[in-house]
Structures are given as structure tokens and as C-alpha cells.
Amino acid sequence: MKVLVIGGGGREHAIVWKFAQSPRVDKIYCCPGNAGISDLAECVDLNMNDYDGLVDFVKYEWIDLTIVGPEDPLSKGIVDVFEKNDLKIVGPNRKAAQLESSKVFAKEFMKRYGIPTAEYRVFNSYLHAEEYVRMKGAPIVIKADGLAAGKGVIVAKSIDEAIDALKKIMKERVFGEAGERVVIEECLEGEEASYLIFTDGETILPLASSQDHKRVFDNDEGPNTGGMGAYSPAPVVSSDIEEKIMEKVMKPAIKGLSREGIKYKGVLYAGLMIKDGEPYVLEFNCRFGDPETQPLLTRLKSDLLEISLAIVEERLSRMTLQWRPEASVCVVAASGGYPGKYEKGRVITGLEEVKKMEDVVVFHAGTTYQDGKIVTSGGRVLGVTALGVDIKDARDRAYNAIEKIHFEGMHYRKDIARRAIER
């Protein structure tokens, strides 16, 4: 079978890597891909937002299945276009993707169906939003309504920081149209976890638990990023908490969407805060998380192609997921200045040395070829991912590997998965 993966980051490299292990996959295409993905797939130079062009390409190449990595194409209806053309594609349609593309939609949806989440208010007026912040005090969370590449959420520790965030989002429009409305919500304290499911709109298959590290610096300091590292499993998600997540979050979400005439097919991700043994939804994402996908797919034994086909063909009830017993840890190497402005074109060294290491995979995120060398082309550059007998062993392997890699300005967190080890 032929498969097309949409996207060009670390998540997509992990998806391509996993598809390449399927005995039924003959050829993989990726649009646009990156330097690492090009070792496993044919990178296609097409506009990721030209859905008609992608449809023509899929038909011309007789591609059997497409899977969408990033949130933007999902929010703009790529799945709707493919389904109108009777093409198999993994991902929710535009209506379903509102769970991620609109924080307001997501919060109001959770309220309707009793899904536990933080107390909130919605504002489209800067003056009213500022007034509310001054009344509520800090810490407080400010969220741009629309998509902002994982950077539209500001956990403000002071009123001044909250007002500064409101100015950037609503007045300066640093996130463009995403900042037309904001959600202001209470700051929940606890431990974060990521919980993902596969679903065909009826059956729910939960993935292993994982935890992301959003802040750019150690000890969760600095601004939010797309994610600086992740690990799986997450000890905070005990079997008791996992049952609560399924019963209070995931099942109500899929059933609630169905009641509103929306069949959700694909991956649904809940970013959670575990507080006093109870899960609260911080956000929904309508696709694989990045970088959670890297440790999750290195642990997944089941064939991703078979799972994907079962989702599209609505026969997920016949599938089970098999997992490797090992733990997995991913540490992200980022460009200097990220998540702010950063320079591109920095030569990356050490990749060949790391390739020789057992149970270590380097997933490329922001890389490309320049004059025959692999160079940086994004904020998050690489996701160094390692398996180990437990989280400590996997963490040690990941850090041993990342220390062999270098590019000018490279930085990474030194405390990924530390909390899991200290529990």
C-alpha cells in the first residue's frame, strides 16, 4: 500500500518511521517532510494547504491512505475535501476539529457535557478582559481562542503579566485572527499529563499515558513552546485516574460530539491537569501530540497502518493495541532564541554517531539539506528519543545521545522526565 503523511515535523517523522515498519506499506510520501523523513519517504514539494492539489496528487499516485499530522489543515477542512473525493484519510473533519481550533468552542462544549475543566470567561473586548483580570487576580491563564502553534496559552503569575499577554493577543495581534477572542480561566495546580485515544466515532482505544514539558527552560520556567520533551508512561496516570479520564473526559467527549451530529474519527488528545486525584481538561488537540508522539510510537508494537485503516473504515472494535514494556523519553533540541526569533541554516553534527546507538532514534523536526549537509530550519530541530527498562534508563540514554549532537545556538532542557523519577 501507498501512504501519504501530511506535515514536516518530529511528529510526522515518528509517524513515517512507524509506517515504515508495516509489512503492508510499499511506499511512503510526506508533504513537505524534512531531512530525516527523506531517509524513509519521498518528500513532496506541494503546498500543504492546497487541498485540491493534494487530492490530485493522491489520485495520480494511487495513494491508499493519508494521515494528517498538524492541526492547521484539519481546522481548515482537509478531511472534508478528501472525503468528498472518496479518499481515505485519518483525522477529524472541520466541525470536529473545532475542539482544537477554537478554545471557546471547546470550553462551551465541555460545559454542555459536564467534562471537568477550569472555571472560565470569554471576552472579545480588551477593556472588559483587563477589568476581569484585575478583579480575579493572579495566577491566571490567558488563552487566544484560535490556533497559535502551541504558543497561545500564557500562564500569568502576576496581573501585569496577564495584562501584557492580553495586549499582545488582542491589541498587537501577535497570533493574528486567533486573538479576536480570549478565554480567561482559573490557574489549576497539580501535575499535567497527556492522554490520547484512537477512535472511529464509536469505539475508543486508549494509547499509553505520556507527559509533555511545555515551558522552554528547566523547572518549567519561561514561555510556553510547542513542547521541549516528553516521556511515556506517565506515573501520575494511575489505573484509577485512567479510568476517571475515560469515564469523565473521553467517553463524554465522543458521545457529546455524536449527539451534535459530529462523528469524530482519528486521534483525540486531552491535555490534562491531575489535581487531588481528579482529571481536568486544559485543552483538546485533534491529532497526535508533538513531542508525545515520539515516545508513544517507539513503544507501540501494533501496526499503525492497520489501526489507521480500522479508524477510516469504522471497524476499530476489532482492534487491540500492543505495547512494548519499556519506557521512552524524548528530549527536544531547539534553536537559539526559540520560542522567539531564531536563526536557520546552522550545520548539525553528531547524527551519524547517534545512529549507531541501540534503542535511540533521532526524529527530525526543523531540518533540511543545504550544500549536502543537514542544517536547522525550525525552532524545534530534533527530538532525541530513547527506550529503556524504566524511565530513568530511557532518560539516561536520551541525554547520552543528545550530548553527541551539536549545532550553533542549540539548547535543550536538562530536566525532562525528572519529576517521574522523583515520584
Of 147, 180, 213, the residue at which a domain comes to its end is 180
- Is 102 inside a domain boundary? no
CA dist., res. 328 & res. 308, Å (int): 22
Do 309 and 342 belong together in one domain? no
Domain containing residue 38: CATH number = 3.40.50.20
Q: Count of domains in the chain?
A: 4
The cell numbers describing 117, all together, are 475543566
Residue 146, domain CATH: 3.30.1490.20
> CA separation (Å) from 252 to 115, 249, 420?
7, 6, 29
What grid cell was written down for 250? 473521553
Q: Check whether the bond before 295 is cis (ω within 30° of 0).
A: no
Task: Give the model's pLDDT for residue 179.
Answer: 87
Residue 149: its pLDDT value, please? 72
Q: How many Cα atoms occupy the beta-carbon half-sphere of 422 within 13 Å?
A: 5
pLDDT of residue 355: 95
Tell me: do 275 and 367 sit in the same domain: no
User: Is residue 55 situated within a structural domain?
Assistant: yes
Owning domain of residue 260: 191-318
Bridge-based pairing state of the strands 327-334 and 380-388: antiparallel
Examine the fold and report which residue of 286, 318, 350 is the final residue of a domain before the chain moves on.
318
Residues 195 and 289 in one domain: yes
Question: Are the C-beta atoms of 150 and 142 separated by less than 8 Å?
Answer: no
User: What are 336's three cell numbers?
Assistant: 537559539
- Residue 340 and residue 397 share a domain: yes
> Are 288 and 267 a contacting pair, CB within 8 Å?
yes
pLDDT at position 147: 87
Could you read off the pLDDT of 285-305 as tens digits, one per residue?
999 999 999 999 999 999 999
- Count of beta carbons in the 10 Å neighbourhood of residue 164: 14
Task: Please indicate, yes or no, whether residues 154 and 206 belong to a single structural domain of this protein.
Answer: no
Length of the chain: 423
If asked whether residues 299 and 205 sit together in one domain, one would say yes
Amino acid sitting at position 213: H
Torsion of CA 393, 397, 400, 402, to 10 degrees: -130
Q: What is the DSSP letter of 71?
A: H
Q: What tens digit of pLDDT does each residue of 307-359 get?
A: 999 999 999 999 999 999 999 999 999 999 999 999 999 999 999 999 999 99
Q: Do the beta carbons of residue 361 and residue 298 sit within 8 Å?
A: yes
Residue after which a domain boundary falls, among 262, 283, 318: 318
CA distance linking residue 64 with residue 312, whole number of Å? 11
With CA atoms as reference, report the closest residue to 378 among 318, 290, 311, 295: 290
SS3 of 214, please?
coil
CB within 8 Å of 318: residues ≥ 6 apart: 310
Residue-by-residue pLDDT tens, the chain, 423 positions: 999 999 999 999 999 999 999 999 999 999 999 999 999 999 999 998 899 999 999 999 999 999 999 999 999 999 999 999 999 999 999 999 999 999 999 999 999 999 999 999 999 999 999 999 999 999 999 999 988 876 788 899 999 999 999 999 999 998 998 889 999 999 999 999 999 999 999 999 999 999 999 999 999 999 889 999 999 999 999 999 999 999 999 999 999 999 999 999 999 999 999 999 999 999 999 999 999 999 999 999 999 999 999 999 999 999 999 999 999 999 999 999 999 999 999 999 999 999 999 999 999 999 999 999 999 999 999 999 999 999 999 999 999 999 999 999 999 999 999 989 987
Whether residues 298 and 346 share a domain: the answer is no
Q: Does 214 share its domain with 275?
A: yes
Span between the terminal Cα atoms of the chain, in Å: 44
